[in-house]
Amino acid sequence: MPHTTTFRIYYEDTDSGGVVYYANYLKFAERARTELLRAKGINQSTIASDAGVLFVVRRANLELFSPARLDDLLEINTHIKNISGASINMLQEISCNGNKIAELDVLVVCINQNFKPCRIPGNIKNLL
């Protein structure tokens, strides 16, 4: 089941034409993934200190369909496609007024404090 987060577009998110700058979709998607983890009871700073692991983006494919503009309210649906031993593949759809405006396919990997890939702890995997 997808997790849904909403974000309002502010002036700082746009370029001189009032259109959302493309790189900001990556930031919106990051925030939505963080909110999905919070909704599942996973706090990233806590797992870093307690379990010694971090989640980092290894790959992000972004496809844009139409622009978001100043004051738009975006809805971001984050769906976990697959969880393996050390990675999570997520599909994120960004829409405005029911129209899909962007889609991201994101691969997040679990790393230890030495920045080496490691298995996702079992308790975190179970929550996801």
Q: Structural domain boundaries of the chain?
A: 3-127
Class of domain 3-127: alpha beta
Active site residue 15: yes
- pLDDT tens string 1-60: 789 999 999 999 999 889 999 999 999 999 999 999 999 999 888 888 888 999 999 999
SS3 label, residue 122: helix
Q: Please classify residue 89 by burial: count the beta carbons closer than 10 Å to its beta carbon, then call 0-12 exposed, 13-18 middle and 19+ buried.
A: middle
Q: Please classify residue 71 by burial: count the beta carbons closer than 10 Å to its beta carbon, then call 0-12 exposed, 13-18 middle and 19+ buried.
A: exposed
The residue annotated as part of the active site, out of 15, 71, 72, 105, is 15
pTM above 0.95? no
